Amino acid sequence: MSENIQGKVVIITGASSGIGEATAKELAEHGAKVVLAARREERLQELANGIKNNGGEAIYQVTDVTKQEEVEQLAQLALDTYGQIDAIFNNAGLMPLSFMHKKKISEWDTMVDVNIKGVLYGIAAVLPHMRERKQGHIINTSSVAGHKSSPGSAVYSGTKFAVRAITEGLRQEEAANNIRTTIISPGAIKTELPDSITDDEIREGMGEVLNAAVTPDSIARAVRYALSEPDDVAVNELLIRPTQQK
């Protein structure tokens, strides 16, 4: 595997916990300059300090990905600090699973806003710069739930199917501009993600899948692999599941 990571400037959304946090550490350890974003400032500060104490390079900005102007400011911070953006990992997401008849409309709205619009705003914030450079890498987090829908996951799956559709369209539009795209589709990973579930019936039924869950460094390594391939090789999708997940 080529080490095409050293010195790359990588924006990571949802960096305050779980997959985003693990990926920030992994990429920084391999020489990337990471630009961390999420809403919880303390977590971002702690992560950035930890990376810097290990000899890595990190900055952060409190960012709500549902606010387009904040995502634009995040990209601007990366450009002002490092002069370029090599990659963005649009990873922020929420998973308040529920049965549709329970009409948890505000949770549906939040999932659409964070999981879909947040990804779109991330793409919009970096695309002009990447097109100008004719170089860049856009990595978006979908899910196993972006491949199949099931009871309780209809809306969440809808958002994750959307991430895959958007990323594939983007791939075709920007291939000639040398912009790589990667869809990361995790299975069950041990993170804070299930905390957003308010439907008790769903929570009770999740034991088996949560028991099979593996740690987020499994996904961090997948992102590192996609990023580290040579520029003329695009790893377009990776589906990573715990071995024991059905």
Closest CA to 140 of 115, 172, 108: 115
SS3 207: helix
Q: How far is the CB of 20 from ligand NDP (least distance, A)?
A: 5
Nearer to ligand NDP, 134 or 239 (CB): 239
The residues annotated as belonging to the active site are 156
Q: How far is the CB of 99 from ligand NDP (least distance, A)?
A: 19
Nearer to ligand NDP, 143 or 228 (CB): 143
Q: From CA 16, how far away is CA 47, in angstroms rounded? A: 8
Handedness of CA 184, 89, 114, 121 (dihedral sign): negative
Distances (CA, A) of 88 to 53, 119, 131, 151: 23, 10, 14, 32
Is residue 18 within 8 Å of residue 192, measured between CB atoms? Answer: yes
SS3 5: coil
Q: How far is the CB of 229 from ligand NDP (least distance, A)?
A: 21
**Footprint on this chain of ligand NDP (rule: CB under 6 A):** 13-20, 38-40, 43, 63-66, 91-95, 114, 141, 143, 186, 188-189, 191-193
Q: How far is the CB of 77 from ligand NDP (least distance, A)?
A: 15
Token pair 């099931």: residue? 150
Is residue 189 within 8 Å of residue 154, measured between CB atoms? Answer: no
